[in-house]
Amino acid sequence: MTTTFIITLGILILSLLAPFISLYAVSFIKKKDYRTHIKIQKRLFWTCVIAVLILEIQIRVAGGSGSLVANSAYTHTSFFKTVLVAHIIGAVLTYIIWGITIFASNKKYKKRETLPGSFSIAHKRLGYVSIIGLFYTAITALIVYIFAFFL
């Protein structure tokens, strides 16, 4: 196994687990354990951000995204290219929305607003969008991974 394969497999596993860990964090809201919810979400977010950075560095070291998927017979098919672009766009948008949710919530929480507070409705909606985005990112990452390394 190559280093690239191991790194991408680890990040794929993290991507597949992330929406479920995020849902687990949501379960603490129902128990009014906001601190645990916050801790899990922040750690998961930063772990995923660091993982994406590691993946990007590995892609560059390996010679770019083309070399990463060069062994696949599907690399040049329109289906693969479409799924790859859709995955990247979806993942970037998800991480932006997730990051905005975390940073805006953190700002409100530090101001000691009572929970749930004035931002709660927006937070809840952004949270659902982020979790749906995490599922989308996981599914499309799995498809890209299978096509890049196994088909």
| DSSP state letters, 67-94 | HHTTT-TTTTSHHHHHHHHHHHHHHHHH
Question: What is the band of 2 on the pLDDT scale with cuts at 50, 70, 90?
Answer: confident
| Amino acid letter, residue 28 | F
Say if CB 146 and CB 131 are below 8 A apart.
no
pLDDT in tens, 20-69: 999 999 999 999 898 899 999 999 999 999 999 998 898 888 777 666 66
C-alpha–C-alpha distance, residues 135 and 132, integer Å: 5
Flag whether the pTM goes above 0.85. Answer: yes
Domain that holds residue 95: 3-150
Q: Which tokens hold the place of 65?
A: 């995204």
Q: What local confidence, expressed as pLDDT, does residue 120 receive?
A: 83
Say if CB 124 and CB 15 are below 8 A apart.
no
- Provide the domain count of the chain: 1
Number of CB atoms found within 10 A of residue 5's CB:
13
Question: What is the band of 72 on the pLDDT scale with cuts at 50, 70, 90?
Answer: confident
